[in-house]
């Protein structure tokens, strides 16, 4: 399905914002982000977010904590809702633009771009995978389609 110029502009803008923000984090320059920590360390994932007001989107940030079952999960296995995507993974000083086969590792800092209306679903999905691993929700989803 071809992208319209508007959709392409939004995608490029979101990616540019995420890359610029991440580079600023990595090199320690620029204005500090206005992260609002939301959530807790329940199931070893604390998620912060910053809004992209003009795009009706949010950047979610989380770290793959020690003991989290997010470690070893491919980005594609996160099965994030439509309108959201893992934009950047930082691993030490290395910045990675992930594809669906990129494997998350303990200590990774991850930025997710989510549509404003999808934030709670993305947060719940990340908590679920952190708690239950790559197949989180799979049996429930499979069971609900079989009934």
| Chain position carrying tokens 């239950």 | 132
- What is the C-alpha separation between 4 and 1, in angstroms, rounded? 10
Per the prediction, the chain carries an average pLDDT of 74
Note if the pTM is more than 0.85.
no
> Average pLDDT of 103-128?
91
Contacts 24+ apart (CB under 8 A), 15-18: 15/87, 17/52, 17/59, 18/59, 18/87, 18/88, 18/111, 18/113
Instruction: Give the pLDDT score at 55.
Output: 73
108, pLDDT greater than 80: yes
Instruction: Give the pLDDT score at 12.
Output: 54
> Average pLDDT of 12-41?
51
Instruction: Give the pLDDT score at 72.
Output: 94
34, pLDDT greater than 90: no
Among 42-51, 63-72, 109-118, the least confident range: 42-51
**To which CATH superfamily is domain 5-138 assigned?**
Regulator of K+ conductance, C-terminal domain (3.30.70.1450)
Q: Using alpha carbons only, what angle is made at residue 105 by residues 67 and 62, rounded to the nearest 5 degrees? A: 75
> Average pLDDT of 129-147?
63
- In this predicted model, which residue has the larger pLDDT, 93 or 52? 93
Q: Give the residue extent of every domain in the chain.
A: 5-138
């Amino acid at each position: 399905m071809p992208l319209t110029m508007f959709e392409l502009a939004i995608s490029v803008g979101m990616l540019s914002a995420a890359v610029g923000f991440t580079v600023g984090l990595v090199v320690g320059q620029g204005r500090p982000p206005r992260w609002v920590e939301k959530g807790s360390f329940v199931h070893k994932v604390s998620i912060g977010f910053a809004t992209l007001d003009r795009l009706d989107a949010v950047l979610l940030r989380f770290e793959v904590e020690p003991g989290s079952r997010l470690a070893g999960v491919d980005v594609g296995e996160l099965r994030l809702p439509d309108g959201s995507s893992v934009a950047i993974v930082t691993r030490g000083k290395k910045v990675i633009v992930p594809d669906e086969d990129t494997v998350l590792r303990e200590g990774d800092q991850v930025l997710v771009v989510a549509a404003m209306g999808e934030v709670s679903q993305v947060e719940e999905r990340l908590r679920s995978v952190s708690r239950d691993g790559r197949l989180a929700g799979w049996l429930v989803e499979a069971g609900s389609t079989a009934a």
